[in-house]
Amino acid sequence: MTSRYRSSEQLNSLTPRRRTVVKAAAATAVLAGPLAAALPAKAADAAPAFLHGVASGDPLPDGVLLWTRVTPTPDATPGSGLGPDTEVSWVVARDKALMNIVAKGSTTARAASDHTVKADIRGLEPATDYWFRFSAGGTDSPVARTRTAPAANASVAGLRFGVVSCANWEAGYFASYRHLAARGDLDAWLHLGDYIYEYGAGQYGTRGKSVRQTAPTHEILTLADYRIRHGQYKTDADLQALHAKAPVIAIWDDHEIANDTWSGGAENHTEGAEGTWAARQAAAKQAYFEWMPVRPAIAGTTYRSLRFGKLADLSLLDLRSFRSQQAAVGNGDVDDPDRTLTGRAQLDWLKAGLKSSDTTWRLVGNSVMISPFAIGSLTADLLKPLAKLLGLPQEGLALNTDQWDGYTDDRRELLAHLRSNAIRNTVFLTGDIHMAWANDVPVDAGTYPLSASAATEFVVTSVTSDNLDDIVKVPEGTVSAIASPIIKAANRHVHWIDTDRHGYGVLDITAERAQMDYYVLSDKTKQAATSSWARSYRTRSRTQKVERTYDPV
């Protein structure tokens, strides 16, 4: 049978800060060198080829979005605009050998979409494993597994999601993806932002060095640049392995575009010298939707919702496209009701979805931390690197205005909505901060724990991006041993914080509890890094509070 699907051209309807200024010459440099650097060596040997793997995403009860990128000729490298339009076919089957085919079809990989294709498959059975493959010109892609979501009204015993964020190519290897792929028990995996980084070579490495060089070597600014960078990331064997094992559910944060992105610019963007912000943002978003198996529910954004039976629904946020510019730290602008993190339409959409939900759990995919955060009395040697990581002043007590702390009116409105409507079992799943946290989300942090908690939050650390021990350049765990007790004392809603290690999370959900198991890598700079369980925290149904548990799943 042939299922209904939409081509990549139909899916990609789009709307149209920087630490140092990149010279205009670098921004407009000839792309031949970066293109060659981003191209795997075997591309010159055979074409067409599937050099960037295959992936699936955004599972529904009756379907899933399939993705690949074909290299039709050796010169058709990402971002080049070269190569002929090429017919790409696909099959979906109930078995890995692809004998029991349930859907098939074809579409065209065009240079205009960087030879990426998407097939939005429908007509599948809920809560079912499927395998799929693409073909072009006599060449087959690898076979990959995907899984549909449970039926909307199905009683679901449990769900299990991998959870990751912040994967900087130059800072290390993506062993976290390999370890998640090896589990074989994931319904899906959540990427909470910073899937790629925009920096040039050496601008954002680890402990003062780059483990592997990024391409192009300059900071990415143009559509070709963003395509090249996405293409390089998709050559990583561990990332390909995870995409081939389970569907991804992704949102963007800032580095998919530029550091500390807001609606009208970014800290890592210099208007004029780096072109216009509107052009750069449009290029970044176009490349993202070309290269990621994500449905843009609202044109040019990543906010949307998914449902997993009666057990959980998942609201996915876009906290970059609509936000006001970050406030200066230490002034009253963070409380200005005219400033917004979400935008009015998105906040109303989120509130309405949380209120109308009839599932046991309400999950929120959230790219920046919603829990309040005060530094406390840190010594200068710790305060300065912490300030650098979080974008805070180098001196004095302050908050991170890039997080919900910088947009307190939006946060107050959302938490008040949860309380006034008795909305329970809301769990924020967060990335961005390059540390692991387990938090209650208090209505009033100043009086907590005497006052109420409106929700809970699990924050995962980075896959590779620098955290505190990397910045200070001390042995792993040194900073956390000192800073964690001080941070917890100043933030009584924080149950756990690990400032130093890299890894991933596994979220396990039943009707009785939502539990995050935190795993850490032995060494992010080693391709064969091992993984070990670090901690587990859960929130029991209807409690709105986090507690430690000792039984990883």
Each residue of 244-278: pLDDT tens digit? 999 999 999 999 999 999 999 999 999 999 999 99
If phi > 0 it is left, if psi is from -120 to 50 it is alpha, else beta; for residue 510 that is beta
**Rounded Cα distance, 289 and 294, in Å:** 7
pLDDT tens digits, 88-139:
999 999 999 999 999 999 999 999 999 999 999 999 999 999 999 999 999 9
Q: Global pTM?
A: 0.89
What DSSP letter does each residue of 167-182 carry, written as one string? --GGG---HHHHHHHH
Residues 129 and 286 sit within 8 Å (Cβ to Cβ)? no
pLDDT at residue 331 in the model? 65
Token pair for 100: 């029991």
Residues 297 and 247 sit within 8 Å (Cβ to Cβ)? no
pLDDT at residue 335 in the model? 87
pLDDT tens digits, 295-319:
877 778 999 999 999 999 999 999 9
State which fold the 322-500 domain adopts.
Answer: Purple Acid Phosphatase; chain A, domain 2 (3.60.21)
**Rounded Cα distance, 357 and 23, in Å:** 50
Q: For residue 72, what are the CA distances in angstroms to 7, 75, 86, 544?
A: 18, 8, 7, 52
Closest CA relative to residue 119, chosen from 187, 57, 191: 57
Identity of the amino acid at 98: L
Give the up-direction half-sphere exposure of residue 44: CA atoms within 13 A in the CB hemisphere. 7
Q: For residue 542, what are the CA distances in angstroms to 94, 362, 439, 509?
A: 38, 11, 16, 14
**Rounded Cα distance, 88 and 526, in Å:** 36
Q: Which residue has the tokens 């959870």?
A: 163
| Residue 444 pLDDT > 70 | yes
Q: Is 143 exposed, middle or buried (0-12, 13-18, 19+ CB in 10 A)?
A: middle
E-assigned strands of 110-226? 116-121, 129-136, 139-140, 144-147, 159-164, 188-191
Q: What are 137-143's contacts with CB under 8 Å, separation 24+?
A: 137/47, 137/48, 137/72, 137/86, 139/46, 139/48, 139/49, 139/50, 140/50, 141/50, 141/53, 141/54, 141/68, 142/50, 142/53, 142/54, 142/240, 142/244, 143/96, 143/98, 143/244
pLDDT at residue 372 in the model? 92
pLDDT tens digits, 375-431:
766 666 676 677 667 655 443 344 689 999 999 999 999 999 999 999 999 999 999
Residues 511 and 419 sit within 8 Å (Cβ to Cβ)? no
Reduce the DSSP state of residue 77 to 3 states and report it.
coil
Mean pLDDT highest for which of 46-60, 326-340, 393-407? 46-60
**Rounded Cα distance, 22 and 31, in Å:** 16
pLDDT at residue 494 in the model? 97
| Residue 447 pLDDT > 50 | yes
Closest CA relative to residue 390, chosen from 379, 406, 401: 401
**Rounded Cα distance, 264 and 324, in Å:** 8
